[in-house]
Chain A
Amino acid sequence: MRLLSTALISLLTLCPPGFSQEPDAEAFFKIQCVACHNIGSPGILGPDLAGVTERQTREWLVPFMMDPPAVLASGDPYAQELLAAANNVQMIKIPGLDAAMANALLDYIEAQSGADPKPAPVVETEPFTAEEINSGREYFTGAKSLENGAPACTACHTTYDIGSWGGGRLGPDLTHVSQRLQGRAGLQAWLTMPASAVMTPIFSKQRLTKSEIRDLVAFLESENEKSPSEAPAVTASFFSAGVIVAILLLVMFGLIWKNRYRSTRIPMVERAKR
């Protein structure tokens, strides 16, 4: 018992590495922020962050960075102004962005603000080709694997075209995602660094390449245009299929061991009762 308690105490006092480190703002910025923002030129969706601490106080910026939808919902006039300037594309809540990280990011942005301006990112406006759309579909279903080893979209998502039997149900249906993210720029930004709590840890290590992003944007844009509604729910038919297979397995067990009592045990029990 003493051994057990010693082991438990030493385990609980052992601080797992990674919980008390200084926030690494540069790495965080390059993973989480660059999909939408730049320092020194406008980003794909968001404003140029150079000099942001001169335009607003940290008391306002930190809570906004931590939870933009909450500040927007509170009716804050400056937040509304930012929303209008960004063509009504709302900044999402970024996983892992706490007060310490927000301050570290503002320090990093301040330090970078004087540096040489970077070229603004380009969003293509040409219509996509059928090959690009088809290639995007293959990346989506996993028929073609993603270069850096990330799982295919169908692990968690579906679209009307893929159908509910083809796509997963951990994440949302993506039929109309292009509309939700306000078109090509939003899709491209999201795929550059998907900012959901489940996707970030995977896609920050196994990034999508530029051509994969272009093809996936092509596929998702075409889905939004041609598919009338989201994929119908599959839960009932999937459950029924499971029940049917389970019953078949039970029948099989019953047949395999159908002589289990009859040959020896039942006669023996009957004899003993007499």
Chain B
Amino acid sequence: MYDILFFVALPYVALVLFFLVGITRYRRRPFSVTSLSSQFLENRKHFWSTVPFHYGVIGVLLLHLAGLMIPDTMLAWNAAPVRLVVLEVTGLALGLMALFGLVNSMIRRVQSPRIRIITNKSDWVLLALLLIQIVLGILVAIYNGWGSSWFAASATPWLWSLFTLNPDLSYVAGMPLLVKLHIINAFLMIGFFPFTRLIHVIVIPNPYLWRKTQVVRWNRDRKRLRIRD
């Protein structure tokens, strides 16, 4: 019963919220579709938060996406033990790097008064969900290892059964608790996605991934205003 709730109902509710609220927000409040960068409020800790976090998370997401889109290629790649270990260690390292960046960004939000003031409740909920998700992902990689293979064999058919509106939860019903929690939290994040600054992810094109860095600076006399770092 809980399996139907978590692995059929929750994903659909999350996806409906994702699209419905996402589109509504874009139509009603287009200027709120932003990452709300705080780079020019604090820039030293910012680098060691955002850079490791984003490269780590994007790498890990691409690996998950590969498992979903090209499962046979993943299994073929993993047929040689050396390739499998290279892929798994890379995935774990990217996850650890994302965790390092995320923890730094949480410390930065607590420590810097300027950042604290622009941080709202949805940011904290999002940071908590991200922290839980990354820690669970790392634990799965360690204790239920070689997910790059079994994801392609079990999670991929289940996800496609959801997308084709013919849900078959038998593929995930027998998964260990850590894996189930990782999946549930992922769909909680997808549902919560359009209510948070995560919305910046879907602003395509995303040229800030490759464009040159942009230096934002104050156009006023900081000395006179007595603003100190």
Contact = CB atoms under 8 A, between A and B. Distances in A.
Interface stretch (B110-118, B127-135, B138-146, B196-204): B138-146
A2 B21 CA distance: 12
A83 B116 CA distance: 66
Interface string A86-112: 000000000110000000000000000
Interface string B31-51: 000000000000110010001
A269 interface: yes
A145 B78 CA distance: 11
The dominant DSSP class at the B interface is helix
Interface in B201-221: 213, 215, 217-218
Contact of B154 (A145, A198, A245, A272): A198
A269 B55 CA distance: 28
B157 A245 contact: no
Interface in A132-190: 141-143, 145, 149-152, 154-156, 165-170
Given A4-B21, A265-B215, A142 B78 contact: yes
A154 B174 contact: no
B85 to A, nearest CB: 6
Interface in B83-114: 84-85, 88-90, 92-97, 100
Contact of B173 (A154, A197, A238): A197
A162 B166 CA distance: 38
A134 to B, nearest CB: 16
Chain B interface bracket (under 10, 10 to 19, 20 to 34, 35 or more): 35 or more
A3 B218 CA distance: 43
Interface in A3-45: 3-4, 7-8, 11-12, 16-19
Contacts of A95: 170, 173-174
B223 A16 contact: no
A96 B51 CA distance: 46
A243 B145 contact: no
B93 A261 contact: no
A155 B173 contact: no
A268 to B, nearest CB: 7
B81 interface: yes
A84 interface: no
B79 A253 contact: no
A233 to B, nearest CB: 10
Contact of A145 (B20, B79, B168): B79
Given A156-B150, A167-B146, A261-B44, A201 B16 contact: no
B47 A273 contact: no
A209 interface: no
Contact of B146 (A12, A154, A243, A245): A154
B149 A249 contact: no
Given A4-B21, A201-B171, A246-B96, A273 B81 contact: no
B4 interface: yes
A273 B228 contact: yes
A272 B94 CA distance: 38
A142 B82 CA distance: 12
Contacts of A249: 52, 55, 93-94, 97
Given A168-B145, A242-B89, A253 B174 contact: no
Contacts of A17: 166
Which residue, A151, A235, A253, has most C-beta atoms of chain B within 10 A?
A151
Nearest to A10: B16
Interface of B: 4, 8-9, 12-13, 16-17, 20-21, 43-44, 47, 51-52, 55, 72, 75-76, 78-81, 84-85, 88-90, 92-97, 100, 141-147, 149-150, 152-154, 157, 166-168, 170-171, 173-176, 179, 213, 215, 217-218, 222-223, 228-229
6 contacts: A4-B20, A155-B78, A169-B144, A242-B89, A246-B92, A272-B223
Which 3 A-B pairs rank lowest in CB-CB distance, beginning with the nearest?
A: A197-B174, A168-B146, A242-B92
Given A12-B9, A198-B154, 8 more contacts: A151-B75, A151-B150, A151-B152, A155-B146, A197-B174, A246-B93, A246-B97, A249-B93
